[in-house]
Structure 1
Amino acid sequence: MIKQLLSLVLICGVFSATSACAKDIAPDFTLKSNGGENLRLEEQRGNVVMLNFWATWCAPCRKEMPVLEEIHQRYGAAGFVLWGVNVEEDSEAAAAMAKDLGVTFPIVFDPESKASQAYGIDAMPTTILIDRDGNVRYKHRGLPKGYEEKYRSEVRELLAE
């Protein structure tokens, strides 16, 4: 029994914020969006939220944007919210890239890295999924093979809860 418990603790430490781990309340933040308004995470309680931390210099970030847009379009009416959290100091480049790629989900700007630090972001892209109760349930670093279906599956799971 002790070995099993230690294994679970180790898994939770390595694969932080998976559904097998203790639930952590998502750190709240308020950031300015590409629409000009301030968006606060806490106000999204009751929705499933995906935070995608990205940068314009990140090629995998650019690659995943159309997939994120498709997920946003598909699940938005079901209580799903997607925010792209740009981590750069220059918000103009991020807004231009999002526009060029046809992104319609909100882009919020984290020029002082407050949200990034609160979520322990150390890789680009990093995607966080938060359940309706405001708990971090999944954290994906980088862009692993098969990420498209994994994201869709996890969003469906959280929406069904």
Structure 2
Amino acid sequence: MSRTTSRTRLTAALGAATALALAGCSSSGSGSSGSGVGFVTGKGGVATAAPADRVAAPDITGTSLDGNGSLKLSDYRGKVVVLNIWGSWCSPCRAEAKGLQETSQKYGDRVQFLGINTRDTDPANAVAFEKNFGVTYPSIYDPDGAEILKFPKGSLNPQSIPTTIVIDQDGRLAARAMRAMSAEDLQKMVDPVLAESK
């Protein structure tokens, strides 16, 4: 029975990961995803939620892509977190990688960057991606998309790859962009959330 349950979960996770890949990984931004309750999509396709309307981020956990132990999103509670969902096979992910790294360095200890690598069946490809683009912040290895499925539907959940989500210091989903982000656009997304914590 447990084998059947595991197989069902794996099938569902693979299906969701495939749907994410098909829905995203294009160079065009998605600006039509702001129909959920409690959040609005502004210019540029960035959806935001006012503090009173935010829902808790799921406790994303997993093995570090570099193999050095496990990572938990909840370990960063008290900090603003930028969560980027990416794959080495994704052209828009490659386009945004350097800007994400530059922005991570700009904020330093004030903002924690965390990646979720998905649909890379061989982690070596993802590790090579990070080395090529000089990415130094950690990533969780989530090849079947199981961690991505933890986000509640109807929230600022990821629906394409790449997706970047800003999580406030209380561990709630504050903003989301389902497209490749420039460093400038990312800062516009992060700064208002960061200002709340002062």
Aligned to 1:106: 138
Aligned to 1:152: 187
Is 1:32 the counterpart of 2:63? The answer is yes
CA-CA distance at 1:32 after TM superposition: 1.0
Whether the aligned pair in 2 keeps the contact of 1:52 and 1:127 (CA below 8 Å) is yes
**Partner Cα separation in structure 1 for residue 125 and residue 149 of structure 2:** 21
**Partner Cα separation in structure 1 for residue 35 and residue 94 of structure 2:** 34
**Partner Cα separation in structure 2 for residue 9 and residue 103 of structure 1:** 33
Question: What is the TM-score of this pair, normalised by structure 2?
Answer: 0.68
| Aligned pairs, number | 151
The one-letter amino acid of 1:83's match is: L
Runs of 5+ unmatched residues, structure 2: 1-33, 152-156
| Residues 24-77 of structure 1: per-residue CA shift (max 9 Å, x gap) | 100002111134120111111001001100111111100100000011101122
42, 55, 75: which one pairs with 1:43? Answer: 75
Question: What is the TM-score of this pair, normalised by structure 1?
Answer: 0.83
**Partner Cα separation in structure 2 for residue 62 and residue 9 of structure 1:** 28
RMSD: 2.3
Is 1:72 the counterpart of 2:109? The answer is no
CA-CA distance at 1:139 after TM superposition: 1.2
**How many percent of aligned residue pairs carry the same amino acid?**
36
**Partner Cα separation in structure 1 for residue 39 and residue 73 of structure 2:** 25
54, 64, 71: which one pairs with 1:23? Answer: 54
Whether the aligned pair in 2 keeps the contact of 1:17 and 1:23 (CA below 8 Å) is no
Whether the aligned pair in 2 keeps the contact of 1:124 and 1:142 (CA below 8 Å) is yes
Aligned to 1:4: none
Aligned to 2:127: 95
The one-letter amino acid of 2:138's match is: P
CA-CA distance at 1:84 after TM superposition: 1.6
**Partner Cα separation in structure 2 for residue 153 and residue 14 of structure 1:** 15
Show the 5 A alignment for 1:104-143: 104-119=136-151, 120-143=157-180
Whether the aligned pair in 2 keeps the contact of 1:86 and 1:110 (CA below 8 Å) is yes
Runs of 5+ unmatched residues, structure 1: 1-7
